[in-house]
Amino acid sequence: MMLEVFADSSMPFYKFGDLFFLNKIDTEHLITFIKERFASTGKEITDDACRRIISLTDNHPYYTQQLSQLSWLRTISLCDENTVVKAHATLVEQLSLLFTNIMETFTFQQTCYLHAVISGEKTISNMETLYKYHISSATSAYRSLKTFIKKDILDSNGSTISFQDPIFEYWLRNYYFAK
């Protein structure tokens, strides 16, 4: 999604700055970094709060930094897990309109495919799963997967399908497809 904002010539921030693609960062390195950054401002954060930030962002560097900052802004002296949970709710709320707009660009079949992925289905192309999630055919499921990979929504590693954006995944699971 960020790539669209900065690399698409029709977007307002096209070529606004350099793009750096970062891989997920090891949990222990992130804990050290977060604790040091809090300490440099005279604030503290518990190890449990650090781990909560990292788990909620799935070690994603951009979101780890963003959630850490939101947690820091809510902290007077000591950041705990409760502060992180509130900051996470704020982050999800801030991005909800963007996520809603993104979902409106998908076809019904693509939305059904995402529902199957969010629900933990492993073999989306089998008849039971197709029927359960109203996906018209295995070909439609395959096309949806290819579209989501191209749009940087999903990653496919062998038989494992995962979301690139952990906050979008959380929003889908807990808001959009919540029962």
Helices (runs of H) and strands (runs of E) counted in the chain: 9, 4
Output the DSSP codes for 57-111. Answer: TTT-HHHHHHHHHHHHHT-SSEE-HHHHHHHHHHHHHHHHHHHHHHHHTS-HHHH
3-state secondary structure of 155: strand
Identify the pLDDT of residue 8: 54
User: What pLDDT shows up at residue 14?
Assistant: 47
Cβ contact 31:51 at 8 Å = yes
Per-residue model confidence (pLDDT) at position 24: 78
Check residue 135 and report its DSSP letter.
Answer: -
Average pLDDT over every residue of 154-170: 91
Asked if residue 110 and residue 88 are part of one domain, the reply reads no
Domain of residue 123, residue span: 106-176
Q: Which of 36, 70, 94 is the last residue of a domain?
A: 94
- 1-38 per-position pLDDT tens digit: 544 544 455 555 544 555 445 577 889 999 999 999 99
**CATH code at 71?**
1.10.8.60
Give the pair of three-digit tokens for residue 61: 């560097």
Place of tokens 């989306």: 124
* Ramachandran bin of 105, using left for φ above 0, alpha for ψ from -120 to 50, beta for the remaining angles: alpha
Could you tell me the pLDDT band of residue 160, with boundaries at 50, 70 and 90?
confident
Is residue 120 located within the same domain as residue 172?
yes
Does residue 54 form part of some domain?
yes
Task: Write out the two tokens for 127.
Answer: 């008849």
Please give the Cα distance from 177 to 169 (Å, whole number). 10
Q: Give the tens place of pLDDT for each residue, 44-91.
A: 999 999 999 999 999 999 999 999 999 999 999 999 999 999 999 999
Say whether both 31 and 74 belong to one domain. Answer: yes
The structural domain count of the chain equals 2
Pairwise CA distance, residues 36 & 120, whole Å = 37
Structure-block tokens of residue 82: 């409760």
Q: Which residues pair with 154 in a beta bridge?
A: 163
Same domain flag for 110 and 172: yes
Q: Are 168 and 160 in contact (CB under 8 A)?
A: no
